Amino acid sequence: MRASVFMAGDDFAGLRRRIAEIEGRPLGVEAPPSPAVPPQGPERPEAPRLAPRRAEKLLPFGVEGLDCLLGGGLRRNALHEVRAETTRAGSAATGFAAAILARLTVGDDRPLLWVMEEAAVREGGHPHGPGLDRFGLDPGRLIVVVTRRPEETLWVFEEGLRCAGLAGVLGEIRGHPRVLDLTASRRLALRARDGGVMGILLRQAAAAEPGAAATRWLVEPRPAGTLDDFAAGIGRPAWRLHLERNRAGATGRFDLEWDHDARSFALAPLATPALSRPGAALPADRPDLARTAGTVVAYRRTG
């Protein structure tokens, strides 16, 4: 009897470990998250490591509250869903997803796969090399696959998740194609878990649907932050993120800014100074052009 009690104590830890493993949670993180978990510090760009894939399983945001909620960061071997309600918000969702990809490439020299449908390219535009470059994501690391149908997109996505030569896969789907059901989502999640490649399912113009992703984010646009105290300008990209689903803990809402130079996230300041202030004042030595040149005219499309 005594012996069995003794064993039970040992088993308890083992059981916990097993449960954490089954649930795909890092050990020691309970749901709801306990503040006792030390959040990993913001990742600094360091010298490239030899084998990044074995180094760590989490991709921290570098934002304390958010990392804490996620149990340290986004899991690398998992599927994450990023969605935008409308087509026009799709650019914001693309931005957030691209920012995660950019974080993935820090200290990891493997390429990224971006697979998208023709319809998504038509509606939302194609990835623009110079823009990606400014954003902090090296376009040379990207392999872009444009497919005809969502079935093909899912197939390429799944193949990509199996490939150890990739740092991450971004799959972009528009609307609610029938092929992207719970089964397909579960398949992708399992592939990501087994392959160890992070999968980001970017869904444009999509309502919340049940899925097997480890996290699901709703991205809404938010006025950009400032850059170098130039309030009138459009500075760092910012988004309003709703963490709608989180297997590792509670959900929440965050306003994040993206520092494209340092490739890091930061909490956006609550009030945007640019909005509370009008544009720069007119210089005294220059006449107001708009007034002297005539009234404001609306140009219609001709032909």
Partner 1 sequence: MLGHSPSLEGRTATQNVRETPPLVVVAKARSALRLVALDETARRRGLHRGQALADARAIIPAIDAVDADPTSDAALLAAIADWAERYTPLVALDGQDGLMLDITGCAHLFGGEAELVADLAARLPAQGFAARAAIADTPGAAWAAARYAETSRVASGGARDLLVPLPFAALRLDDDIVAALDRVGLKRIGQILDAPRAPLAARFGASLMRRLDQALGREEEAIDPRRPVAALIAERRFAEPIGLEDDIAATIASLAATLARNLEQRGEGARRFELSLFRVDGVVTRLGVGTSRPVRAPKHVLGLFAEKFASLADELDAGFGFDMARLSVPVTAPDTPAQVDLAGDAVGEADLGQLIDRIGARIGPERVRRIVPRDSHIPERSEAWTDIDAAAHALSPGRHWGGLPPPSAHSRASGNPGSGHHYPSESGSPLARGRADGRSATNSDGEVSCVRALDPPLFPAFMDADPIDRPLRLFARPEPVEATAAVPDGPPMHFRWRRALYRIARSEGPERIAPEWWRNDEDETRDYFRVEDATGHRFWLFREGLYGRETIAPRWYLHGVFG
Binding positions for partner 1, 195-254, rule CB under 8 A? 220-224, 227-230, 232-235, 237-240
Per CB under 8 A, does 111 bind partner 1? yes
Classify residue 237 by burial, with Cβ atoms within 10 Å: 0-12, 13-18, 19+.
buried
What residues does 222 pair with on adjacent strands?
Answer: 238
As a whole number of angstroms, the distance between CA 243 and CA 249 comes to 10
Q: How many residues bind partner 1 (CB under 8 A)?
A: 90
Footprint of partner 1 on 71-90 (CB under 8 A): 87-90
Instruction: Output the six-digit token pair for 283.
Output: 């210089």
As a whole number of angstroms, the distance between CA 93 and CA 97 comes to 6
Instruction: Output the six-digit token pair for 39.
Output: 């959040």
Cβ atoms 127, 137 nearer than 8 A: no
Per CB under 8 A, does 179 bind partner 1? no
Q: What angle do CA 259, 264, 268 make, to 5 degrees?
A: 60
Per CB under 8 A, does 132 bind partner 1? yes
Instruction: Output the six-digit token pair for 116.
Output: 């998208």
Q: Among residues 237 and 249, whose Cβ is nearest to partner 1?
A: 237
Q: Among residues 29 and 112, whose Cβ is nearest to partner 1?
A: 112
Instruction: Give the SS3 label for residue 139.
Output: helix
Q: Among residues 41 and 129, whose Cβ is nearest to partner 1?
A: 129
Binding mask 24-53 for partner 1 (x = CB under 8 A): --------------------------xx--
As measured in angstroms, the least distance from the Cβ of 297 to partner 1 is 6
As measured in angstroms, the least distance from the Cβ of 34 to partner 1 is 34
Cβ atoms 165, 111 nearer than 8 A: yes
Pick one of 24, 28, 85, 144: the residue that binds partner 1 (CB under 8 A).
144
Q: Which stretch binds partner 1 (CB under 8 A): 23-31, 58-66, 70-78, 155-163?
A: 155-163
Q: Which stretch binds partner 1 (CB under 8 A): 33-41, 127-135, 174-182, 186-194?
A: 127-135
